[in-house]
Amino acid sequence: MGEIPAVQAKKSNYTPKSVIHQKYGSRACYKIEEVRESVQNSCPGLAIPQQSTCLFRCNLQLPELSVTSETFRRKKDAEQNAAHMALEKLGIQPTTDSSRSQDAWDELVARISYLFSDEFLSWQHQPQHPLIGHFRAALRRETEERGLLPASIFAAYDMKINNLCKTINHKVDREPHLIVTLIMKAAGLSGSAAISLGQLWIWKQSLYSSDILQALTSQPLSSSEGIWIQAIRIPYSIEKPVEQVALYISSDGYFIDSIAQKLGLTDTSQILVSRTVGKASSEMRLYFSALELPVPLDSSLDDLLYAKAVTDGSFNERASYFSSQNIYGNAILASVGYTWRFPDLFHEDVTLGTYYRMLIGRLPNGSYKLSREAILLSELPEAFTTRSNWRGSFPSDLLGMFCRQHWLSEPVYCITSITDPVDSSEASQASKKLKETNPDEEETKYADGGSGDANEKESIALGGSFRCEVKILSKGQDLVIECSPEDSYRKQNDAKQNAALKVLSWLNKYLMKLDMHVEKLSSGETHGLHFFPENFSKEFTLCPSVHAGQLASVLRKCSLWASSCMDQLNTTQEHSACSFKIEGLDSGVFPSNGSLICISYVVSLVREGEHMKEPLESSDEFEFEVGTGAVIPQVEACVTQMSMNQSALFNTGLPPHDFIFAAAGDSLMSILLSSLDACFLEYSIFLLRVTQALEDRMEQALFSPPLSKQRVEYASRHINESCATTLVDFGCGSGSLLDSLLDIPTSLEKMVGVDISRKSLGRAAKALHSKLSENSDPAKPSLGIKSALLYDGSITVFDSRLSGFDIGTCLEVIEHMEEEQAHLFGDVALSSFRPRILIVSTPNYEYNSILQRTDLSNKDEDSDEKMQSLPCKFRNHDHKFEWTREQFNKWASDLAMRHNYSVEISGVGGSADVEPGFASQIAIFRRGPIDVECSENEDIVHPYEVIWHWNRS
């Protein structure tokens, strides 16, 4: 059994795992393996033969290596041991003592010495160290540079050297020139390497033994043909476009020489190699030329270089932005190199398409789009409702990726459990800190997978709720953003994802407002989000110029694209019914907020006047949740006017060009680059499927008859009991109540609906119109209706045409408004509209725990969905609040008292006498007897707009 590593001693705050976490975050994957060890063997004297202890071993996988720990009694110790072993391999010292830098320097000299030793060079085991490939290629040169290696490759391809350099001087992290000077100095002292003065070559001082030379150079070439690879040239002048270049690497050549040549270097030793950019395991790097180094070299070199480069304009902003290192002059972005994984030279094309995808992938919205492979259609949603409705990468993954790309520390989440389920909104209550994902505790992925699930189940313990805080720190641990949203959730994961999403949305807003000064942003802070302008601008200096400078003013103009298109759309909608060309029969199955829908689509680039129509992006099945902003606003607006099996066609202006370039295949790039002036995008959409919103499914699955039907029955009973002839439905939506009332006999003669959603009113008009104009069958229950009207207007605003009706209904509406608006509606309704009877229904928050507990035994739902049956705090993410019985009673009785009404509380679904009461709570207000004065004094006000009017002729 292994010893617990000394570094875990109490005084040290840095455990090996925490150091690994800082560096790799969730890319570090720990797998625990159980090892049974018989006690009998180890303690032969004891008479407990059958018993065996369970021991654990841990395998840690990092992008560049994998280690397996010794065995331990505790999983934790095995993990720490694995982390410790990995750190040793990487050359990272987790201790922080003062002699560290001197020690690191000695180690650096020793490491370089080792790399030129026979021991290292004769190491023929697989996987091979990447540097061996460089030695081999350099020795194959037939020129006088035979065996010479550029200094820059040592830090780029040996993690240990790279890390030692960082320990010696943390500034090397940003400044590759500093690494090269350190390496040259250390090589000069190493005893086994020689260096050139004035150039940046390093070579083996002593002659290679013939065995080693033989072993290094005799390996047969994998192919006799050379290879062509595509790479990208990024000019330092931001006005000049990036362009694709082809590199030829001959079969016995050294790829670094080919790149140097492309950069126009006569001396390959001057080449500098960046860290890898892009994915963790990528070999994509930037190559550029070293500047003339001033002598003597010192540690303020980076400031000097930077200042000089900025003044002479040779600082390469785009390249620097990608690597988070200072890059000067023209750069080449290529994906080629020797790796641990392949014996031969690894290579991949980097095309303009790759470049633009990388560029937009650095914006939160862009990386979401990429994760959905729908660059021109999807958008980073505004809300995370449920895990099962979310498509694409999760917010926490996107945020982690964002931090890695922008060279920040991994995000730190702190989840708090709130004990009282009901008053979760009150900040004052006792809350217990549940889980801080400080590096030690960060979600460990165990191989058995079972423990993760168990946590999930625990984390939705009934009645509790969770809140989550996120911190974004720089690599130097300066706080950049801190976000502590007030909202609480029933599931830990929902709290975490929503917090991550909040940060992402804010970052996205910032990155789209490129011309905005950082200080100004602080005024735009949303609640709970704080950012630290000084630290923030330090980390994001290049971001605005790269994203804006890239296509100059185009991008800035286009950031307003979506909103201006929407404006245009709204204005055209007011005049003509709709700007979407919708075709196909209305199937009656349509999406509403919270529905999960599936579409197929094609987006094409069309050039006006010509016959050019190039498909840019398409999908046979694309799913999203309506109402969360998961697609561009035009698509959302379009699908909400469609029903299943209909198709639609509409045009938009062009989005930021980066997005078009990223979406277009590489073959299209040339056409696109020629001119986008007279072009627009055409969206063609087909609505394949609609899955109802969770709230609706729940109401149907758990209640018989469905809750919505019970509300209609409740209302109709009161209509008939009171012999009402006039009815106004406040917040009528798509007219479900009015429509159902036409199917049953009632005393009604006039019915009116009001809503603020034109879309819903359109549907209501359609449904009512067809039902009322059906040839007057004398047996039809709707025959009594003489007139029906639909108004567009807010129910918190009075319109005198709706005053004094017999009955008013307001079913499941108030929870969709802010609480103060709900209070306002109550006052306006009872003081101005003054119906004889007003029926108001809204969900009972206390009942949610029952809904939560019950399985939705819908056949098409998997077990995950069952777990998720009530993932958000409220039944529907569009709800602004849900009241307990006490809150509802108070609202209703205060209101009734103020306006001389009586009130009675009841409900549907469940029972008043059984905890926790009705599923839907209902208040019936009845107007008191003295009412003459008020209605006489009323002014005539008509703020509502008539949308549809029907009269029996």
Binding residue for ligand SAH, selected from 796, 832, 848, 920, defined by CB under 6 A:
796
The region of 67-75, 366-374, 659-667, 731-739 touching ligand SAH under the rule CB under 6 A is 731-739
Nearest distance in Å: CB 699, Mg ion: 10
Nearest distance in Å: CB 931, ligand SAH: 24
Q: Is 811 in the site for ligand SAH (CB under 6 A)?
A: yes
Q: Which is nearer to ligand SAH, 402 or 791 (CB)?
A: 791
Q: Is 731 in the site for ligand SAH (CB under 6 A)?
A: yes
Q: Find the helix packing angle between 395-405 and 492-512, rounded to 10°.
A: 50
Binding residue for ligand SAH, selected from 345, 542, 690, 817, defined by CB under 6 A:
817
Nearest distance in Å: CB 671, Mg ion: 49
Q: Which does 728 bind (CB under 5 to 8 A by kind): ligand SAH, Mg ion, none?
A: none
How many residues comprise the chain? 953
Nearest distance in Å: CB 390, Mg ion: 21
Nearest distance in Å: CB 637, ligand SAH: 15
Residue pointed to by tokens 């072009």: 679
Q: Which does 77 bind (CB under 5 to 8 A by kind): Mg ion, ligand SAH, none?
A: none
Q: Is 923 in the site for ligand SAH (CB under 6 A)?
A: no
Binding residue for ligand SAH, selected from 543, 582, 603, 795, defined by CB under 6 A:
795
The region of 110-118, 813-821, 853-861, 939-947 touching ligand SAH under the rule CB under 6 A is 813-821
| Nearest residue to 918 via CA among 807, 816, 841, 826 | 841
Pairing type for strands 271-276 and 787-792 reads unpaired
The region of 43-51, 474-482, 534-542, 805-813 touching ligand SAH under the rule CB under 6 A is 805-813
Q: Is 816 in the site for ligand SAH (CB under 6 A)?
A: yes
A 10 A CB-CB count for 471 gives 17
The region of 309-317, 560-568, 591-599, 812-820 touching Mg ion under the rule CB under 5 A is 812-820
Classified as helix, coil or strand, 902 is strand
Classified as helix, coil or strand, 919 is coil
Full 3-state SS string of 461-505: CCCCEEEEEEEEEECCCCEEEEECCCCCECCHHHHHHHHHHHHHH
Binding residue for ligand SAH, selected from 244, 757, 844, 869, defined by CB under 6 A:
757
Total residues contacting ligand SAH (rule CB under 6 A)?
18
**What is the number of the residue whose Cβ is closest to ligand SAH?**
733
Classified as helix, coil or strand, 625 is strand
Q: Is 755 in the site for Mg ion (CB under 5 A)?
A: no
Nearest distance in Å: CB 642, ligand SAH: 18
Q: Is 104 in the site for ligand SAH (CB under 6 A)?
A: no
Handedness of CA 820, 822, 825, 830 (dihedral sign): negative
Q: Which is nearer to ligand SAH, 286 or 737 (CB)?
A: 737
Residue pointed to by tokens 């890239």: 550
Q: Is 920 in the site for ligand SAH (CB under 6 A)?
A: no
Those residues whose C-beta lies under 8 Å from the C-beta of residue 656, and which sit 6 or more positions away, are: 551, 554, 555, 558, 559, 561
At CA 637, angle to CA 633 and CA 643, rounded to 5?
140
Q: Which is nearer to ligand SAH, 323 or 760 (CB)?
A: 760
Strand ranges in 168-224 using DSSP code E only, listed in sequence order: 193-195, 201-204
Q: Which is nearer to ligand SAH, 470 or 642 (CB)?
A: 642
Binding residue for Mg ion, selected from 487, 812, 846, 865, defined by CB under 5 A:
812
Give the containing element (helix H, strand E) for 29. strand 29-38
Cα–Cα distance measured from residue 525 to residue 497, given in angstroms and rounded to the nearest whole number: 19
Q: Which is nearer to ligand SAH, 405 or 920 (CB)?
A: 920
Nearest distance in Å: CB 744, ligand SAH: 16
Cα–Cα distance measured from residue 519 to residue 400, given in angstroms and rounded to the nearest whole number: 25
Q: Is 813 in the site for ligand SAH (CB under 6 A)?
A: yes
Nearest distance in Å: CB 902, ligand SAH: 24
Classified as helix, coil or strand, 135 is helix
Q: Which is nearer to ligand SAH, 8 or 736 (CB)?
A: 736
Q: What is the DSSP letter of 830?
A: I
Q: Which does 796 bind (CB under 5 to 8 A by kind): ligand SAH, Mg ion, none?
A: ligand SAH
A 10 A CB-CB count for 686 gives 18
Give the containing element (helix H, strand E) for 906. strand 901-908
Cα–Cα distance measured from residue 892 to residue 879, given in angstroms and rounded to the nearest whole number: 19
Cα–Cα distance measured from residue 371 to residue 392, given in angstroms and rounded to the nearest whole number: 5
Q: Which is nearer to ligand SAH, 754 or 789 (CB)?
A: 754
Binding residue for ligand SAH, selected from 578, 756, 856, 905, defined by CB under 6 A:
756
Q: Which is nearer to Mg ion, 540 or 874 (CB)?
A: 874
Nearest distance in Å: CB 631, ligand SAH: 20
At 624, list the tokens. 């999203």
Q: Identity (one letter) of the amino acid at 148?
A: L
Q: Which does 595 bind (CB under 5 to 8 A by kind): ligand SAH, Mg ion, none?
A: none
Q: Are the C-beta atoms of 907 and 832 separated by less than 8 Å?
A: no
Cα–Cα distance measured from residue 286 to residue 294, given in angstroms and rounded to the nearest whole number: 23
Q: Is 867 in the site for ligand SAH (CB under 6 A)?
A: no
The region of 36-44, 49-57, 168-176, 792-800 touching ligand SAH under the rule CB under 6 A is 792-800
Residue span 756-795 as binding mask against Mg ion, x where in contact by CB under 5 A, dash where not? ----------------------------------------
Distances (CA, A) of 752 to 731, 785, 787: 11, 11, 8
Q: Is 794 in the site for ligand SAH (CB under 6 A)?
A: yes
In the region spanning residues 734 to 753, those forming contacts with ligand SAH, defined by CB under 6 A, are: 736-737
Q: Is 760 in the site for ligand SAH (CB under 6 A)?
A: yes
Total residues contacting Mg ion (rule CB under 5 A)?
1
Nearest distance in Å: CB 752, ligand SAH: 13
Classified as helix, coil or strand, 657 is helix
DSSP string, 746-768: -S-SEEEEEES-HHHHHHHHHHH
Cα–Cα distance measured from residue 592 to residue 582, given in angstroms and rounded to the nearest whole number: 17
Cα–Cα distance measured from residue 837 to residue 358, given in angstroms and rounded to the nearest whole number: 61
Q: Are the C-beta atoms of 495 and 470 separated by less than 8 Å?
A: no
At 233, list the tokens. 């040239």
Q: Are the C-beta atoms of 825 and 730 separated by less than 8 Å?
A: yes
Binding residue for ligand SAH, selected from 283, 755, 806, 882, defined by CB under 6 A:
755
Which residues lie near Mg ion (CB under 5 A)?
A: 812
Which residues lie near ligand SAH (CB under 6 A)?
A: 731-733, 736-737, 754-757, 760, 794-796, 811-813, 816-817
